[in-house]
């Protein structure tokens, strides 16, 4: 796979003024750094397929992860090349000839719009490339509670953007007790896709990994881990009943309310 990234150091924050009002009537003008929303259009084989609202960092990882968790690709070998423009506004992905291709006589005005529980307005504009493959059971690994506590410690010690804005979700990737990568984004789905994409890009076997998320775990978050074949999904937040049942069905180890001193293992 050939990667051509033209963007560099796009702004993540912008300073804005606001009026601070306290209950006792104090009024003060202040400034604060606020997150910037970024929109990237993703083209597959020159066909607009996704619009993602995100933070403009780790964009290749975001695209790779989203392609896998939307079942558009099965592995990194399905991709021939990825190009991201200098403004980070457009990603062009070309799939290998042997992978999924467009059916005949398809047009942009025929599309399926999927609205997940993500709050950032991400959209899938069509399902031309999506396969109907049934998810596989997630492989199991031996794990130690200390590994989860270490990830909870790393999150609690502070993520850079969250420490400044209190407005991001975070995700960490670890293997055998070693944290390999961490990232932040406006949406928890994006953050999860970025760690998955990082693993794909760096040839890290996700079947040996643990992912820790700052966000709640509904079914779509659990399905991302299942499609990526991640054995253990941990979260600081809570799951839904449906996510727990899904995790049990596909043997995903689901750990929630994972803090520095405790955790709840639901499946």
Tokens of 86: 């200098």
Q: What is the architecture, at CATH level 2, of domain 145-265?
A: 3-Layer(aba) Sandwich (3.40)
Query: How many whole angstroms separate alpha carbon 122 and alpha carbon 36?
Result: 15
Contact 214, 235 (CB under 8 A): yes
Residue-wise pLDDT tens digits, 143-168: 999 999 999 999 999 999 999 999 99
Average pLDDT of span 109-118: 45
Kindly tell me if the per-residue pLDDT of 15 is higher than 50: yes
Lowest-confidence region among 65-79, 115-129, 180-194, 211-225: 115-129
Does residue 194 contact residue 62 with C-beta atoms inside 8 Å?
A: yes
Whole-number pLDDT of residue 127 = 63
Sorted by where each begins, the domain ranges of the chain are 38-124, 145-265
E strand spans, 96-240: 123-124, 169-175, 178-185, 210-213, 232-235
Could you tell me where the beta strands, DSSP code E, fall in the chain? 2-5, 13-21, 27-35, 38-44, 47-54, 79-84, 90-95, 123-124, 169-175, 178-185, 210-213, 232-235, 253-256, 264-265
What is the mean predicted confidence (pLDDT) over 158-186? 96
Any idea how long the chain is?
267
Q: Are 83 and 150 in contact (CB under 8 A)?
A: no
DSSP type of residue 111? -
**Residue 88 token pair:** 């980070």
Burial class (CB in 10 A: 0-12, 13-18, 19+), 90: middle
Burial bucket for residue 226 (CB in 10 Å: 0-12, 13-18, 19+) = buried
Sign of torsion over alpha carbons 46, 186, 215, 195: positive
Q: Are 151 and 172 in contact, with CB atoms under 8 Å apart?
A: yes
- Tens of pLDDT, residues 34-60: 999 999 999 999 999 999 999 999 999
pLDDT of residue 97: 75
Would you say 221 and 233 are in contact if contact means Cβ atoms under 8 Å apart? yes
SS3 for 103?
coil
What is 38-124's CATH number, 3.40.50.300, 2.40.37.10, 3.50.50.60, 3.10.20.10?
3.10.20.10
Question: The pTM is what?
Answer: 0.90
């Amino acid at each position: 796979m050939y990667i051509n990234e033209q963007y560099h150091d796009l702004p993540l924050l912008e300073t804005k003024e606001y009026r601070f009002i306290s209950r006792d009537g104090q009024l003060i003008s202040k400034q604060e750094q606020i997150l910037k929303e970024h929109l990237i259009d993703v083209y597959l084989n020159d066909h607009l397929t996704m619009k993602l609202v995100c933070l403009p960092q780790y964009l290749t990882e975001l695209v790779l992860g989203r392609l896998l968790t939307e079942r558009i690709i099965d592995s990194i070998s399905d991709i021939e090349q990825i190009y991201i423009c200098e403004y980070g506004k457009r990603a062009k992905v070309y799939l290998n000839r042997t992978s999924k291709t467009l059916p005949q006589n398809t047009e942009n005005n025929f599309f399926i719009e999927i609205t997940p529980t993500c709050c950032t307005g991400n959209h899938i504009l069509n399902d031309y490339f999506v396969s109907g493959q049934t998810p596989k059971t997630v492989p199991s690994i031996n794990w130690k509670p200390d590994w989860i506590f270490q990830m909870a410690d790393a999150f609690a010690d502070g993520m850079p953007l969250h420490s400044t804005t209190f407005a991001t979700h975070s995700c960490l990737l670890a293997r055998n007790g070693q944290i390999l990568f961490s990232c932040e984004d406006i949406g928890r789905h994006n953050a999860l896709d970025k760690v998955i994409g990082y693993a794909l890009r760096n040839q890290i076997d996700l079947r040996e990994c643990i992912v820790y998320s700052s966000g709640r775990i509904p079914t779509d978050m659990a399905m991302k881990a299942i499609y990526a074949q991640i054995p253990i999904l941990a979260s600081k937040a809570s799951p839904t009943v449906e996510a727990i049942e899904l995790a049990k069905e596909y043997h995903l180890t689901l750990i929630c309310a994972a803090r520095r001193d405790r955790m709840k293992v639901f499946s």
